[in-house]
Structure 1
Amino acid sequence: MKCVIFDFDGTLSDSIKVFIQAYNNFAEAEGYNKVALDELDDLKKMSIPERCRHLNFPMRSIPFAAPKLYRYVRETRETLPLFSGIKQMLDELNSRGIHIAIISSNASDIIKNCLESNGINYIHDVLSSKYIFSKDKLIKKLLKQYSYTSEDAFYVGDEQRDIDASKKSGLRAVWVAWGYDDESLISGSDFKAAAPDDIVDYAAKG
């Protein structure tokens, strides 16, 4: 295995509470329904269109809302936390000479700030997708840049859209059980990671 490509939010970073705060601040100003922490489990079982309907939030507004959410994170100077065991997992992959990249819908400067704050200075490919359903384009771009084949890499994410992007790119998809989407929403993944160490084991098997 030459390369492991990661999603960020819900996969590496436990950013849900920060982004709920950002979204609720935005929702109050725009007149959308807010998110209560006690409804997170229910939201995790909803698809993205279902979540938007629940929040009275039009899907077409997602690309316009995202920059405002990121601006909130920057202005509050929040450093997004990593899930437990993530740094150790990334360090182990790096020590084995595996190229680590991140392709996310989050802003690259926010991701880099999180990595820097956690002493992770070896991830240089951090790509930000402008649209939440177009990660496959960046995955293909990265593969082409490094002349990787579909056998050289796999993509790790927590949502069904991550699995879909992997498949569109011809890569194997690893789904992590600690993220945003409930397992009932997931189909087509090649491997389920119940803990970060499982990703290291999967990479070792090639």
Structure 2
Amino acid sequence: MTRLPATRYRLAIFDFDGTLADSLPWFRSSFDDMVARFNLTPVPAEEMEGLRGLSAREIMARLNVSKWQLPDIVSDMRKRKLAAASEISLFNDIPAMLTELQHLGIKVAIVSSDSEASVRKVLGAATTLITRFDCGAAMFGKHWKFRRVARRLSVTPSETICIGDEIRDIEAAQAAGMDSGAVAWGYALPAALQAAGPTHFFNSIEEMTQRLAAAK
């Protein structure tokens, strides 16, 4: 990958599942079991794709997830995800992209609802390219972790971009006073992400690298 010029961003905070890791197939294979285990409202196969156009709160309402159930569901999914980590891989070109951001002087952090152990296992050798991890985020608590990561790395919100594949990632970045980036290859449908108003929308990993490098 060609060396790119300096950028105004000093920190890029990434979501993990669906953004750096190709975990959507695993999630789809685990979905029906999760619904049955927690006695949620089943979703017919023909409606599954439609869930990708909804926000996290809308999905919870569709499945009839109560607030008191949510922590148990998240905890259960973390445990099962860790057990299946060897079956999940990074998207192609992610290690090269992370390496290029390092060359640009952009620190990279990962803020995820997943466990740090699971994230590290999937990253493998690419773990060395990550400056900071802040995992185990609450479903709607990422903005607090965004702020904490930036503060601990001595980076201002205006110099930070938060990149993810769900509407809640965009909302969390906005709540933290940071720029947001949405990727087209993850969980949420591109149209739903664009409607949420991210600062940047990336159609490919190559485009993301180039636009982060060119940001002024």
Bin for the TM-score computed over the shorter chain: 0.7 to 0.9
Partner of residue 169, structure 2 = 162
SS in 1 for 2:198: coil
Matches within 5 A, 1:12-161: 12-34=20-42, 39-76=47-84, 78-116=86-124, 119-161=126-168
Deviation at 1:27, TM superposition (A): 2.5
Partner of residue 198, structure 1 = 207
Say if 2:11 and 2:150, in contact at 8 Å, map to a contact too.
no
- TM (normalized to structure 2)? 0.84
In structure 1, distance between residues paired with 2:188 and 2:39: 25
The unaligned stretches of length 5 or more in structure 2 are: 1-8
Give the share of equivalent positions with the same residue, in percent: 26
SS in 2 for 1:10: coil
Q: How many residues align?
A: 205
SS in 2 for 1:121: helix
In structure 2, distance between residues paired with 1:114 and 1:88: 15
Say if 2:141 and 2:172, in contact at 8 Å, map to a contact too.
yes
The unaligned stretches of length 5 or more in structure 1 are: none
- TM (normalized to structure 1)? 0.87
Distance 1:115 1:173, change over 3 A: same
* 1:161 maps to amino acid: R
Aligned Cα RMSD in Å? 2.2
Query: 1:138-168, CA deviations, whole angstroms, 9 ceiling, x for partnerless residues?
Result: 1111111122112322111111111111111
In structure 2, distance between residues paired with 1:174 and 1:62: 26
Partner of residue 179, structure 1 = 186
